[in-house]
Amino acid sequence: MPGQAYGGVSGGPYPGPPPAGYGQPARGTNGFAIASLVLGLLGGILLSVIFGIVALVQIKRRGQGGRGLAIGGLVAAGCWLLVIVAGVVFAIATSDDTSSSGTRVGAYVSVADLQAGDCVATVPSSRESRVRTVSCTSLHEGEVTGVSVLPAGAYPGARETQAQALKRCVAAFDSYVAVPDDRLKLHFLYPDASTWAEDRGVTCLVRDPNGPATRSLRK
């Protein structure tokens, strides 16, 4: 009969399958992954690493996108870390550079603190001067061949003091220089009457009158 239903309930068609993604949150790109990449590029190493790790964990659990961004952030942070480490190593290597005598290279020191084997950028003019020590393989005007202290006692006078200092520096030169060269000039610093009571030191240097040298003269 028209209008009669058999074996079921009348009233309309059965609903079809739910649309794709129905009842599930939109996946999208993980925010931590984006933050990790941005911070990695800007040098925010610590936060970039933390956000990158969090992003990778969330992406795997949630099925989100952004894995490449998170990895990129971690790689950028690693590159920044390598640059920082290299800079620190370079700074330590250059600041701790010392001459054969143990004096720090590149430092300004008192003439009284110089030791045999030190090379100086410029030849000092007096015992009270401060000079910059340099590597003997770089340009330098003078090289210290020896240091000594004159005997205690009353000041012997300028001429006698100079004679004693010259004698000591000639001996130091002969025992220090590998190949004597007539062109080389002795330069020595010694105390005067005003400093005798506190400083009787003698500093002996050798220099090339033709200009700065780039090698050590030591035997």
Average pLDDT, the chain: 84
Query: How many Cα atoms occupy the beta-carbon half-sphere of 190 within 13 Å?
Result: 22
Identify residue 11 by its one-letter amino acid code. Answer: G
Q: Mean pLDDT throughout 128-138?
A: 90
Residue 204 has pLDDT above 90, yes or no: yes
Q: Check residue 105 and give its pLDDT.
A: 79
pLDDT in tens, 24-41: 555 789 989 899 999 989
Q: Mean pLDDT throughout 159-165?
A: 96
Question: Who has greater pLDDT, 135 or 15?
Answer: 135
Q: Copy the structure tokens of residue 203.
A: 């500093």
The rounded distance, in Å, linking the Cα atoms of 1 and 149 is 135
Residue 45 has pLDDT above 50, yes or no: yes
Residue 96 has pLDDT above 70, yes or no: no
